[in-house]
Each structure stands twice: as C-alpha cells, then as structure tokens.
C-alpha cells in the first residue's frame, strides 16, 4: 500500500512538472522581456521629457518665456515641414 502512495505522489509530481514546463516556463521569458521593455520605454520617455524641459529652461534665461516658446514652435514647424516634404517623395 505504501508503494502505491509513493508512486501516486511521483505521478502527481511528474504531471505538475510537465504542466509547468508547458505553460509557466514558456511564458516566463516573454513576461520578463515585456516588463523590461515597458521599464526601458518609461525611462526613455522621461529622459526625453527632462531633456526638452532642460532645453526650454536654458532658452528661457536669455530669451523670455515667449521667446522660448517661439523657438520650440519654429523647430516643430521645421520638423513638420521636413516630414511633409518626405511624404511627397514616396
């Protein structure tokens, strides 16, 4: 009787191991990569935001707030014009 209990426990352990191999082990890598991608994207976005904020602050010292907004507006209009011209080439 004791042998059947041991064999049954081993069978349950094998089933659990096989189910884990087919589900958890396969998805673990995808979840890790997704989590790290979200974290890297967040850090990248924050870096861009702080860079723009710093450049705006540096422009605000010699120009004024209106001048800094004017420079940023001109840069964004130039980028938009460049993209518009690239669109027509295709």
What does the DSSP 8-state code read for residue 61?
A: T
pLDDT > 70? residue 51: yes
Mean pLDDT of 55-77: 93
C-alpha gyration radius of the chain: 29
The answer to whether the beta carbons of residues 88 and 80 sit under 8 Å apart is no
Tens digits of per-residue pLDDT, 4-15? 888 888 889 998
Q: Is the pLDDT of residue 89 over 70?
A: no
What are the residue boundaries of the structural domains of the chain, listed by start?
2-89
Asked if 34 contacts 26 with a C-beta cutoff of 8 angstroms, the reply is no
Q: Tell me, what's the pLDDT at 21?
A: 84
pLDDT at residue 1 in the model? 66
Distance CA 79, CA 90 (A): 17
Q: Is the pLDDT of residue 90 over 80?
A: no
């Amino acid at each position: 009787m004791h042998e059947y209990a041991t064999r049954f426990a081993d069978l349950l352990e094998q089933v659990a191991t096989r189910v884990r191999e087919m589900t958890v082990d396969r998805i673990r890598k995808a979840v890790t990569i997704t989590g790290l991608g979200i974290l890297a994207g967040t850090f990248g976005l924050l870096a861009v935001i702080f860079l723009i904020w710093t450049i705006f602050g540096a422009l605000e010292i010699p120009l004024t707030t209106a001048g800094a907004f004017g420079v940023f507006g001109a840069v964004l209009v130039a980028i938009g014009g460049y993209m518009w011209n690239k669109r027509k080439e295709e």
